[in-house]
Amino acid sequence: MPIAEHIGKADWKTEKHVPVIECPDKVQADQPFDVKLSVGKEIPHPNTTAHHIRWINLYFQPEGEKFLCHVGRVEFGAHGEGAQGVDTGSIYTNSTATLSMKTKKAGTLHAVSLCNIHGLWEGEKKLTVG
């Protein structure tokens, strides 16, 4: 079975696991812009030792090209673990990050996140260049 069949897709407004991509719809060619990634924007995702987002990967599919480009990966390492047990620690990371990138071509951004319980989830956003 292809890996794509194991990646959940849904509207991030109704599914807390889908990564949200926020950036301008149109960018200037070869000029840096920020891409904000988050999981749980509309419906908060738990961030506990037992249930959390481990990472988000960002990819870009340039128009007319066969392969995806891996833009970056963000890992979230603190989920309340502590010496006294689960959810006893004082540090919790939020499942948000901002990456900076630039492109000469329009295309589609793809974000893939991993929930330690519910697996892989994907969000996408079209990007135009002008």
Active site residues: 15-17, 45, 51, 115, 118
Non-local CB neighbours of 130 within 8 Å, separated by 6+ positions = 26, 27, 28, 29
Report DSSP state, residue 45.
P
Helices and strands (H, E) in the chain, number of each type: 0, 9
Distance CA 90, CA 21 (A): 28
CA atoms lying within 13 Å on the CB side of residue 101: 23
Rounded-to-integer distance, Cα 65 and Cα 53, Å: 30
Tokens 């149109």 locate to 26
Task: Specify the amino acid at residue 85.
Answer: G
